Amino acid sequence: MSHYTANLRDIEFCLFDLLERESIMGKSIFKDVDRETAMGMLEEIKRLSENDLAASFIEGDRLGTTFNKETGDVTLPESFKKSYRAYMDNEWWRIDAPEEIGGTLIPPSVRWAIAEMVLGSNPAIHIYASGTSFAQVAFYLGTEEQKKIAKLMVDNDWGATMQLTEPDAGSDVGAGRSKAVKQADGTWHITGTKRFITSGDSDLNPNIIHYVLARPEGAGPGTKGLSLFLVPKFMFDFETGALGERNGVYVTNVEHKMGLNVSATCEMNLGEKQPAVGYLLGEVHEGIAQMFKVIEFARMMVGTKAIATLSAGYQQALSYAKVRVQGPDLTKAADKASPRVTIINHPDVRRSLMVQKAYSEGMRALVLYTASIQDAIAIARAEKDESKIKDLEALNDLLLPIVKGYGSEKSWVLLGTESLQTFGGSGFTQDWPLEQYVRDAKIDTLYEGTTAIQGLDFFFRKIVKDGGRAIGLLGKEIGAFCASGGELSEEKAALGKALEDVNGIMGTMVGFAMESQEKPEEIYKTGLNTSRLLMAVGEVIIGWLLLRQAEIATKKLSNPGRDADFYAGKIAAAKFFITTVLPHIRAERKIVEAETGAIMNIPESAF
């Protein structure tokens, strides 16, 4: 029996009831994908995910990767390779490839709905299959010659990596030491060491194109001095794709991790054994800007992975709670002869399940809402509607750290404190997949910038640098919803108060930042609370999306058919979240307003 059960009913509800994606399907650039086509794709990926992809999830974890130190080659379990081939051979790679070289153009909202099921069933498959999404960067930013590389990546199932991190630099990418020296033939020789490189090597693909940040000889310091190079594992013929000699980029170590063990995380050396030949992407020195095209996709993927895993954990916990018999009903606890009941009848278990339900469904809506903004960006670009593009891109930029930072943090915590906890001692064993979910999900708070980095990015770049425009537009939309009345008017009013508190937190933090212009140490007060703000904004957005779903469900209940319980669950989850989660934001506001920054004056020896 598969460990994974996809929640396609909720995905369908989010796409077509909440976000009204049918309105953009079958027309404009998405003319080939109507609702029926989209649902057909989703139903097929559900079947594939629950069976072929999920089949190697546990064995992939237990066996992990095998690393040959002599050759620098990484091999994967046969069962995992079979699952990977099921995904690739069924041509799901087409949804990420540029349309001009064999890709299939679908709305990003449908693409990320598909990704949820793949990531929930066996996340390493999605991660290894990223070669076609990397190919987009080479195709749209590369020279005419490099566009050929993109096509070869797609046609030949070549893998790809993103090589930013270095042992001494970590998240401080601008401190990277990898060096690039231009050669007479126009290529570059790259030297340096990279660390924590996902998919650094495997026996899944005949070739791998490494996207490497390095500093050209003579370039300045910091991120502005970095350029992006395409460095192949094997040299190749640009016309035929025929592979040639080994290039000088090798794995020197594979990390021993607490989770996601079948995904090879590698230390890479460039140029030590032999020259590592690279091609400057687009013949321009804009490495960070170019790499951010990959990073933005990766952050969306990581948040979706985390949220998908929480949904899988909730489905497991819910199934277990319905069959695990333990203890009497609380109202009959005094009667020692009273019958034992399933644990879903115990108040705290029921509370825990509702927490999991509200967050997993609310954060699914967050992912798909963000993807719906990406739908609109794609349409606006195709129609060259410049008046819309800027605001839409700013809103997407604002939401990405919430999807990644808030989504990964909440999912990791809830998987351990609620989903696994539902199983009692059984959750701590390998008899159930929860312990693997917890281990696999922890990386999501660290991948592509830790939660703290997401919080800093959210406040300083997505709010302050943007002049508050995107957050203001979103806040205005949420505020209008709060004031719209109706059957859920009390809950909407409570959401409105939480929105006021978030605005209060932001206002206080902006004040700290402004004061720092005269007293630099005042910026510490902001830095101590950026993650707090990220979480608070995430809670308000989830509350808004859950209430929107509940409002739709309330109307649907007039003629629910077989979905009466589904709609009742939507209303219950929204009300539960509003009454039990949002009140905490008032306390968060008071904490920020009382911030003194005193912790920054404590000597290191006092810790």
> Annotated active-site positions, please?
448
3-state secondary structure (DSSP) of residue 604: helix
| HSE value, Cβ hemisphere, 13 Å, CA-based, for 157 | 16
How many beta carbons lie within 10 A of that of residue 594, not counting itself?
A: 8
Q: What's the rounded Cα separation, in Å, for the pair 49 and 55? A: 9
| HSE value, Cβ hemisphere, 13 Å, CA-based, for 177 | 10
Strand-pair category, 179-182 with 234-236: unpaired
Q: What's the rounded Cα separation, in Å, for the pair 161 and 183? A: 24
Q: Which residues lie closer than 8 Å to 63 by C-beta, 6 or more apart?
A: 77, 261, 262
* CA-closest candidate to residue 211, choices 223, 225, 194, 224: 194
Q: What sign has the CA pseudo-torsion 512, 513, 518, 520?
A: positive
CA torsion, ordered 311, 314, 319, 321, to nearest 10 deg: -170
Return the structure tokens found at 275: 């020259």
Q: What's the rounded Cα separation, in Å, for the pair 388 and 376? A: 9
How many beta carbons lie within 10 A of that of residue 592, not counting itself?
A: 23
Asked if residue 428 lies in contact with residue 435, where contact means CB atoms within 8 angstroms, the answer is yes
Q: What's the rounded Cα separation, in Å, for the pair 525 and 597? A: 5
Any idea which residue has 């009497």 for tokens? Answer: 328
DSSP code string of 467-522: TTHHHHHHHHHHHHHHTT-STTHHHHHHHHHHHHHHHHHHHHHHHHHHHTTTSGGG
> What sections of 129-176 are H helices per DSSP?
131-141, 144-155
3-state secondary structure (DSSP) of residue 553: helix
What's the gap between Cα 334 and its chain centre? 48
Return the structure tokens found at 345: 């009848």
Q: At what angle do helices 434-442 and 287-323 cross, to 10 degrees?
A: 160
Q: What's the rounded Cα separation, in Å, for the pair 330 and 20? A: 43
Q: What's the rounded Cα separation, in Å, for the pair 151 and 307? A: 32
Q: What's the rounded Cα separation, in Å, for the pair 269 and 252? A: 7
Asked if residue 459 lies in contact with residue 530, where contact means CB atoms within 8 angstroms, the answer is yes
Strand ranges (E), 164-315: 179-182, 188-198, 208-216, 227-232, 234-236, 243-246, 249-254, 265-270, 276-280
Q: What's the rounded Cα separation, in Å, for the pair 478 and 368? A: 17
Asked if residue 448 lies in contact with residue 465, where contact means CB atoms within 8 angstroms, the answer is no
Asked if residue 366 lies in contact with residue 542, where contact means CB atoms within 8 angstroms, the answer is yes
